[in-house]
Amino acid sequence: MKKKILIALGVVLLAGGYEGYTMATAKKPPKLRINGTIYILPKSFTLNLAGGQYATLTVALLLGPTQSQGTTNPSNPPPTGFGSLPEEAVVRAIITNDLTNQPADTLLSNPGRAGLERKILADIGSQTDDKITAVYFTDLAIQ
């Protein structure tokens, strides 16, 4: 009888220890690398650069968790090439103003592009109510 109790107690302790170990080492849910929605501005940009060159690029915005992409009214759609972001016209103007007349070398280098993306992000934050957390140049061609 004592042997059965000791065996049962051992099994319970082993099971409890295993359960405790697995709970303590359980994997946490992975942190999302992109927290929000990517919104690609539907119409690409063609801009004059310094030195007589020009750039064509597509821009994507990372919308904050509380930022809506907006909705379109079927009876009053936005102009061709424009999406439903509430202040898209102002965002496009900011991007155009910040990139026009930049040297091509700035857009061709990783640090230069990153600096321009940060500048555009700061200008969008200070001039609009849109909650944008990042700006990305998704396609870029310079001539």
pLDDT tens digits, one per residue of 26-40:
677 777 777 788 999
Q: What is the pLDDT of residues 101-120, one digit of tens each?
A: 999 999 999 999 999 999 99
Q: Which residues contact 99 (CB under 8 A, 6 or more apart)?
A: 45, 47, 49, 55, 57, 107, 116, 120
Mean of the per-residue pLDDT values for the chain?
Answer: 84
Cα→Cα distances 114→16, 82, 86, Å: 52, 25, 25
pLDDT of 72 higher than 60: no
pLDDT of 74 higher than 60: no
CA distance 38 to 116: 18
The domain spans of the chain are 37-142
What does the pLDDT read at residue 100? 96
> Does the domain spanning 37-142 belong to CATH 3.30.479.30?
yes
CA distance 82 to 42: 6
| Per-residue confidence band for 140, with pLDDT thresholds at 50, 70 and 90 | very high
CA distance 139 to 59: 7
The number of angstroms, rounded, from the C-alpha of 88 to the middle of its chain's C-alpha atoms is: 16
